[in-house]
Structure 1
Amino acid sequence: MEKGKILVIEDHKPIRDELCGFLSRYGYEAKSLTNYETIIEDCIKEQADLILLDINLPVLDGYYICREIRSRSDVPIIVVTSRDSEMDELMSMNLGADDFVTKPYNTQILMARIESILRRSQKTETQNAIVCKGLRVCLNDSTAEYEGRKIELTKNEIRILYTLIKHQGSIVSRDELMEMLWQSNEFIDDNTLTVNVNRLRKRMESIGWKNQIHTKRGQGYIV
């Protein structure tokens, strides 16, 4: 079983291949990205657990890539570079990198740093995060994130979404949803739930998660 996905952004093929092989041996899914024209968008779409990023790259330098990814995602980033000045390390950290490793590196130390950062990031996510069809929903801060786009949801929106995803593939009845939202389905106008679900659909469409909440006429909703 793979322990997580790690993206390798390194333009020197021997180093790139070595890193991917090394990560695979330790049970990670290692994927290298080499289309530097679309590197930022590709990183976001991959929804990796961690990124290993070189600084000296063609087209865009690593500093710019680090800053742009960090502005759109919380994915952990370790800068792995032959540039070893204190200024390089400081810049990397200021732009949002989680760690800075210089080449040549000890592979065991690199792995220890990767696993330490992954443990920290997974701990902050907690069990209150749930994922469905690329969408990550977090109860802790009432947010939904899809392909790097993140929005805050209202209390009702997050409850409906979380309930539907928790029962992914099964129909959740309107009565169940009304009971969950208002602790009763007796005194609530049936149209109130419809309004809430339609508003949630529009919020999801605004971040690109479209046509995923389906109405089952006379029964309820399903994702």
Structure 2
Amino acid sequence: MNWDCLIVDDEVELAKATCEYFEMFGMTCTYVTTFGGCIDVISENAVKLILLDINLGNDSGFKLCKELRKKTDVPILFISARQSDDDVLIALNIGGDDYIKKPYSLSVLLAKVKVILKRYETIKNDGDNREKVTINDKNEIRCGNLRIDIDAMKVYVNEKDAGFKTKEFKLLQYLYENRNRVIAKDELFINIWGDSFFSDGTLNVHIRKIREKIETNPNQPTYIKTIWGTGYMFETPES
């Protein structure tokens, strides 16, 4: 079975109501209430997006997210009544794409999910004309000690694989292709996440992780500069 959305939440009535609402608007959706149930669905079906609660009875959504990231790069949106910034940062740091606090509006949640699904379907080959450098019959970008392999979606620092996750790669690629230009946060939200209502925390965590992987000193970045109050800019070494 191909599912647009899998909801993993031990609040059965909320999960069921969300699922039924999504189906009213043409989405295929199913829900499970346990860690094991999620693994079973992922193993036997194609899923485009996961809505994941943190509290799953005796199990943890954080633990499940880590396990899922070993198997899939599909968008994972945490949905939780837990409000602390620490929970948000943990969720984003372990591979979550966004954090939605309960109680949520079904209409807003559906809009967010639809935009993310549309973006993910077109992100790799979006038909843009931004500059790419072809080397050895491969689409690659070289900048300083960085090599960005577009086709493989990998980043190498001094020819060593930096271990980029999908979202980190897309963000770095976009920053480079718009290098030496200040890019507002909203532009990054729209072009990388597909909409403009993600939190600053989402972007900040991803930028920090990228810097940790490509910068000699992440606290004094050479490539990705923060433009306070506005956004970020990728500076090439020759600029």
Counterpart AA for 1:14: E
Alignment partner, residue 17 of structure 2: 18
Deviation (angstroms), 1:117: 1.4
> Which residue is 2:206 aligned to?
none
Report the equivalent of 2:193: none
Which one is further off, 107-116 or 30-39? 30-39
Counterpart position of 2:94: 95
Q: Helix, strand or coil: the match of 1:37?
A: helix
Residues 35/85 of structure 1: CA separation in 2 closer, same or farther (3 Å cut): closer
Quote the offset at 1:9 in angstroms: 0.6
Question: Residue in 1 aligned with 2:49?
Answer: 50
**Compared CA separation, residues 34 and 104, structure 1 to 2 (3 A):** closer
Three-state SS of the structure 2 residue aligned to 1:64 is helix
In structure 2, stretches of 5+ residues that fail to align are: 127-150, 154-239
User: Aligned pair 1:118/2:114, yes or no?
Assistant: no
1:108 aligns with 2:88: no
- What does 1:96-175 align with in structure 2 at a 5 Å threshold? 96-126=95-125, 140-141=151-152
CA–CA distance in structure 2, aligned partners of residues 107 and 56 of structure 1 = 20
What residue is the counterpart of 1:30 in the other structure? Answer: 29
What is the CA–CA distance in structure 2 between the aligned matches of 1:118 and 1:65, rounded to whole Å?
21
Tell me, in whole angstroms, the C-alpha distance in 2 between the residues paired with 1:30 and 1:70: 21
Counterpart residue identity of residue 6, structure 2: L
Equivalent position amino acid for 1:120 in 2? R
Q: Is the 8 A contact 1:54 1:62 kept in 2?
A: yes
Query: When the two structures are superposed, what TM-score results if normalisation uses the length of structure 2?
Result: 0.49
What are the Cα deviations for residues 50-108 of structure 1, in whole angstroms up to 9, with x where unaligned? 00111110242000011110122111111111111111111110011111100111122
What is the CA-CA distance between 1:38 and the residue it aligns to? 4.9
In structure 2, the partner of 1:68 is 67
RMSD of the TM alignment (CA)? 2.6
Give the counterpart letter for 1:65 in structure 2.
Answer: L
Residues 36 and 58, structure 1, Cα contact 8 Å, conserved in 2:
no
Residue deviations 1:133-170, cap 9 Å, x none? xxxxxxx449xxxxxxxxxxxxxxxxxxxxxxxxxxxx
Identity %: 30
Q: Which residue of 2 aligns with 1:157?
A: none
2: CA distance, partners of 1:32 / 1:66: 16
Shift of 1:4: 5.3
Kindly indicate whether the alpha-carbon contact (under 8 Å) linking 1:53 and 1:62 is maintained by their aligned counterparts in 2.
Answer: yes
| Structure 2 letter corresponding to 1:123 | T
Q: AA paired with 1:69?
A: L
TM-score, normalisation: structure 1: 0.52
Q: How many residue pairs are counted as aligned between the two chains?
A: 130
8 Å Cα contact 2:8-2:31 kept in structure 1: yes
* SS of equivalent residue, structure 2 residue 79: strand
Q: Is the 8 A contact 1:20 1:32 kept in 2?
A: yes
Q: In structure 2, what residue type is equivalent to 1:17?
A: K
Higher helix content, 1 or 2: 1
Alpha carbons 2:79, 2:101 under 8 Å: kept: yes
Structure 1 residues 123 and 4: CA distance shift in structure 2, 3 A? farther
Going from structure 1 to structure 2, the CA distance change for 1:52 and 1:74 (only over 3 Å counts) comes to same
Distance in 2, matches of 1:102 and 1:40, equals 24
Q: Secondary structure at the match of 2:29?
A: strand
Instruction: Check conservation: 2:7, 2:52, Cα contact below 8 A.
Output: yes
